Structure 1
Amino acid sequence: MKKLINKPEDVVKEALAGMAVAHPDLIRVDIEQQIIIRKDAPIQGKVGVISGGGSGHEPMHGGFVGAGMLDAACPGAVFTSPVPDQMLAATKAVNGGVGVLHIVKNYTGDVLNFEMAAELADAEGIKVESVVTNDDVAVQDSLYTAGRRGVGVTVLLEKIVGGLAETKAPLEQVAELARKVNKQGRSMGMALTPCTVPAAGKPTFELGEDEMEIGIGIHGEPGRRRVKLASAAEITEMLATPIIEDLGLKAGDQVLAFVNGMGGTPLIELYIVFDALQRILNGKNIAIARSLVGNYITSLEMAGCSITLLRLDEELFRYWDAPVHTPALRWGR
């Protein structure tokens, strides 16, 4: 294992300390409780928007804390759900008096712990709405979930919902938009290599030199099938076709196309995939109206990528284009 760390047990806290000193204009960090909070939170009259999950997927979620996106994030240990006390602390820290939205990826630990945190918040008089993302079309159930996994759509949802929350819309409207985004997006990923969790010190799974895993999860969970290496164009077809079919995309639709790196794939390769995706969609008369390419929901140093397509309408255009200013995503300011 070769990693830029000191001690495996200190990875998360030291990374949080680094974020705090790198972005003091955007965030503040509670190292003890392991929560990242928007610098100006809580904002009175504004719905607080929080998310969280295991570390190792950076910049998700802490890198998306700031104006126009999340008000707080709760990072757990690497690939491990944060605990309810963290989520409750984050909920209280961003409560502006009109309620808090929990954005929860569909992993069993995350769902259970966020549910408990919402109950604790309710007991303290804070209204909470929870929205679960489950956009992965690869498998119905996995090692970590009952039902589909929450993956790439989570990033897009956090941005769009964050844009609406900035207008001081009510909690019910913010939660309704979140459910709409989840419904209108699908994702699928693949891996060329495994990754190594610092505490384990060995790869999470094994792949032969001439193999790849199609439909991989962001924790290295198995996908649909293990196959021989193929070209970027063939891989893109393997990922895009199930997404297009599952989402029911048709000629004339407009989409946000998101090609995401899993942590160990260079941008030059992600742009090759994006070009292949554009050609597939053009062939079906589906227009790419917005795009996002880069490492936004990763799996440590895993090489591979995921594709997310989100069907757009006027409302989603408006809040995707709204200003955002976070450590990892920023425009319009």
Structure 2
Amino acid sequence: MKKLLNAPSDLVKEALAGMALAHPGLLRVHVDPAFLVRADAPVRGKVAVLSGGGSGHEPLHGGFVGRGMLDAACPGAVFTSPTPDQILEATRAVDGGAGVVHIVKNYTGDVMNFEMAGELARDLGITTETVLVNDDVAVENSLYTAGRRGVGATVLVEKICGAAAEAGRALADVAALGRRVNEHGRSMGIALSPCTVPHAGKPSFELGPDEMEVGIGIHGEPGRRRAKLEPADRITEMLMHPILDDLPFQAGKDVLLFVNGLGATPLLELYVVFRKAHEIAAARGLRVVRSLVGPYITSLEMAGVSITLLQVDEEMVRYWDAPVHTAALRWGV
């Protein structure tokens, strides 16, 4: 294992310290329990948007803390859910009196711990709403979850909900919008290599030099099948067709196309995938009106790609285009 770390047990704590030093104008880091909040939190009268999950998926979630996106993020240990006390304290830190939206990826630990934290927050008089993200079409159940996994659409939900909250929308409206984004988004990924969790010190699974895992999860969970490596266009077809068939997406509709790198895949290759995915979407009669390309929800150093397609309406596009200023996503400011 070759990684830029000191002791594995200190990895998340030291990374958070680095984020605090690198982005003092954007966010603040609370040490015990660990969470990040936007620099001006709490914003009085504004709905707060909070998310979290295991570390190792950066920039998700801490990289999206800032104006126009998340008010707070709770990082667990690598590939491990944050604890209820982390989530509760972060909720308290960002509550501006208008309530807090919890955006939760559909993994068993995340769902359980956010649910417990939400109940405790309500006992303290803080109103919360939960938006569950479960956009992965690859498998119905996996090692980490009952039902579909939450993957790439999480980034889109966080951006659009964050912008709606920034615009002054009410708690129920922000949550309903997030649920609509999730309902109209679908994702699927493929791995070309495994990743190594620092505490384990060895790859989380094995792939032969000519193999790929179709439908991989962001923690290295098995997908639909193990297959021989194919050219980029064929791989893109393997991802796009299940996505398109699942919703199903309607000809003549507008979509946002998000091609995501899982950690070790260069942008050069991601744009090759985007080109083919755009072609396939157009052949189905879809208009790609917005796009995002890059490593935004990763799996440590895993090589691979995921594709997320979101059927957008005018409201979603407006909030997608709204100004955002975070460590990992910035436009309009």
- What TM-score results when the alignment is normalised by the length of structure 2? 0.99
Aligned to 2:13: 13
Alpha-carbon separation, structure 2, partners of 1:95 and 1:119: 15
Alpha-carbon separation, structure 1, partners of 2:111 and 2:65: 20
Alpha-carbon separation, structure 1, partners of 2:126 and 2:51: 16
Q: Does 1:103 pair with 2:107?
A: no
Which digits, 9 at most, give the CA deviation of each residue in 1:252-308, with x for residues without a partner?
111000000000100000000000111111212211100000000000000000000
Q: CA deviation at 1:169?
A: 1.2
Aligned to 2:331: 331
Once the two structures are overlaid, the 10-residue window that deviates more, 226-235 or 166-175, is 166-175
SS of the aligned residue for 1:53 comes to strand
Alpha-carbon separation, structure 1, partners of 2:313 and 2:172: 20
Q: CA deviation at 1:321?
A: 0.3
Which digits, 9 at most, give the CA deviation of each residue in 1:197-238, with x for residues without a partner?
001000000000100000000000000000000000000000
Counterpart amino acid of residue 181 in structure 1: V
- Spell out the pairing of 1:122-137 with structure 2 (5 A cutoff): 122-137=122-137
**Unpaired runs of at least 5, structure 2:** none
Aligned to 1:229: 229
Alpha-carbon separation, structure 2, partners of 1:176 and 1:278: 29
Q: CA deviation at 1:34?
A: 1.0
Alpha-carbon separation, structure 1, partners of 2:216 and 2:330: 28
SS of the aligned residue for 1:75 comes to strand
Aligned to 1:208: 208
- Spell out the pairing of 1:169-248 with structure 2 (5 A cutoff): 169-248=169-248
Alpha-carbon separation, structure 2, partners of 1:3 and 1:167: 41
Q: CA deviation at 1:124?
A: 0.5
SS of the aligned residue for 2:104 comes to strand
Q: CA deviation at 1:40?
A: 0.4
Q: State the identity %.
A: 69
SS of the aligned residue for 1:209 comes to coil
Q: Does 1:64 pair with 2:64?
A: yes
Which digits, 9 at most, give the CA deviation of each residue in 1:177-207, with x for residues without a partner?
0110000100000100000000100000000
SS of the aligned residue for 1:43 comes to coil
Once the two structures are overlaid, the 10-residue window that deviates more, 281-290 or 132-141, is 281-290
Alpha-carbon separation, structure 1, partners of 2:6 and 2:92: 32
Aligned to 1:152: 152
SS of the aligned residue for 2:213 comes to strand
Q: Does 1:302 pair with 2:311?
A: no
Which digits, 9 at most, give the CA deviation of each residue in 1:94-136, with x for residues without a partner?
0000110000000000000000000110110001111110000
Counterpart amino acid of residue 182 in structure 1: N
Counterpart amino acid of residue 262 in structure 1: L
SS of the aligned residue for 1:193 comes to coil
**Unpaired runs of at least 5, structure 1:** none
Aligned to 2:280: 280
Aligned to 1:291: 291
SS of the aligned residue for 2:67 comes to coil
